Structure 1
C-alpha cells in the first residue's frame, strides 16, 4: 500500500460513515431538465426508492431490537 491510500483511510471518521444526506437527497431532489425521462428509468428509480425505504426501516428495527 502507498502512503496516499493510508492517508485516505485515516481521514475517514466514524461520523462520516453514518451521514445519510445523500440517501435523503435521493428522495427529495428536484427535476433536472438534462436527465433523460423514460418510463423504464422512472420505474427503476421508483423501485430503488422503495428498496431504500425498506432497508432503512429494517435497519432501524434491527438496531432497536439490539438496544432494547
Structure 2
C-alpha cells in the first residue's frame, strides 16, 4: 500500500496549467498546419473562452445580483 493518499486536493480541481498551456504553447517552426487545422484550433479556443466567460457571468449573477 502506498502511503500517499489518492484523494484530490482543492488545488487539483482549480489547476489551470493545461488549459493555459493550450492557449500559450510554443509552436514548432518546422511544422506548417493546414488551413482546416488552424480553423479548428481557432474555433476551439474561441469556444473555451466563451464557456469560461459564461461561467464567470453565471457565478457573478448568482452571488451579487440575486
The superposition leaves residues 35-67 of structure 1 with CA deviations (integer Å, 9 ceiling, x where unpaired) of 561111111100000000100100110111121
Structure-2 change in CA distance of 1:17 and 1:31 (3 Å): same
- Select the residue among 19, 44, 54 that pairs with 1:48: 44
Give the TM-score, by structure 2 length: 0.76
Give the TM-score, by structure 1 length: 0.74
| 17-26 or 41-50, which deviates more | 17-26
Matched pairs, number: 62
Q: Higher helix fraction: Structure 1 or Structure 2?
A: 1
What stretches of structure 1 of length at least 5 have no aligned partner?
none
What stretches of structure 2 of length at least 5 have no aligned partner?
none
Distance 2:18 2:32 in 1: 21
1:38 aligned partner: 34
Distance 2:31 2:46 in 1: 21
